[in-house]
């Protein structure tokens, strides 16, 4: 499978959130975290104190307004459905290239698998460590939404002090 989505970022992005590879639903919708059971957009909108975005354009605007870039570690791989645990034969995305076109200083993984893949395929070249956050995936439904929001918000508050992210 080849990654069908471009990264969302601009030159003012200071934080990069990395997933692994788009789910089947995201590939079909041609946008990140399109599975309605994935809690990514709920978590992010709660952190930045905005209404839950409904359209792809609203989601993109919210990310860029708050200097957040979004992409995945994997450019191409063998994968069964949406299962991160089945990912094999990884070719990473050009994360070092993305970093050169932005102001990104902090990288977060949306889940353990994204962290593992970044460390294995990208970290040596970028020189930026990755910080893992609990996955927003439906496969991680045992963590309540309130706890996900708390963990993600704590991380971005640390970043706010360092980078000026617009988190109220």
How confident is the model over 135-155, as pLDDT tens digits?
999 888 889 999 999 999 888
Question: pLDDT: is 17 or 141 the higher one?
Answer: 17
Give the number of domains in the chain.
Answer: 1
Which residue did the predictor score with more confidence, 86 or 8?
8
114 pLDDT higher than 50? yes
Confidence label for 73 from pLDDT (cuts 50, 70 and 90): very high
Judge whether 47 lies within some domain.
Answer: yes
Of 30, 35, 38, 140, the active-site residue reads: 38
> Mean per-residue pLDDT for 113-142?
94
User: Both tokens of residue 79?
Assistant: 């994968």
Average pLDDT along the chain: 91
Greater confidence, 130 or 154?
Answer: 130
Q: Is 110 a catalytic residue?
A: no
Is the residue at 70 inside a domain?
A: yes
Give residue 163's pLDDT: 46
Tell whether 97 is covered by a domain.
yes
Q: Determine, yes or no, domain membership for 5.
A: no
> How far apart are alpha carbons 51 and 42 in whole angstroms?
9
* φ, ψ dihedrals at 140, nearest 5°: -110, 35
**3-state SS class at 69:** strand
Q: What is the mean pLDDT of residues 71-88?
A: 89
Q: What is the CATH number of the domain that holds 128?
A: 3.40.470.10
Domain span at 143: 15-161
pLDDT of residue 140: 87
Instruction: Read off the pLDDT band of 100 (50, 70, 90).
Output: very high
How is residue 163 written in tokens?
Answer: 């980078």
Binned at pLDDT 50, 70 and 90, residue 82 comes out as confident
Q: On the CB side of 111, how many CA atoms lie within 13 Å of its CA?
A: 22
């Amino acid at each position: 499978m080849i990654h069908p989505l471009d990264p969302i970022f601009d030159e003012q992005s200071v934080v990069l959130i990395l997933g692994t590879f788009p789910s089947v639903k995201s590939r079909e919708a041609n946008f990140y975290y399109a599975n309605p059971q994935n809690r990514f957009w709920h978590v992010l909108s709660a952190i930045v104190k905005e209404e839950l975005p409904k359209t792809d354009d609203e989601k993109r605007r919210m990310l860029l307004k708050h200097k957040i870039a979004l992409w995945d570690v994997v450019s191409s791989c063998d994968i069964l459905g949406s299962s991160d645990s089945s990912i094999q034969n990884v070719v990473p995305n050009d994360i070092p290239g993305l970093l050169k076109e932005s102001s990104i200083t902090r990288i977060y993984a949306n889940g353990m698998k994204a962290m593992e893949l970044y460390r294995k395929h990208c970290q040596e070249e970028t020189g930026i460590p990755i910080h893992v956050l609990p996955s927003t995936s439906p496969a991680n439904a045992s963590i309540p939404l309130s706890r996900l929001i708390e963990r993600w918000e704590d991380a971005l508050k640390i970043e706010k002090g360092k980078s000026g992210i617009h988190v109220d």
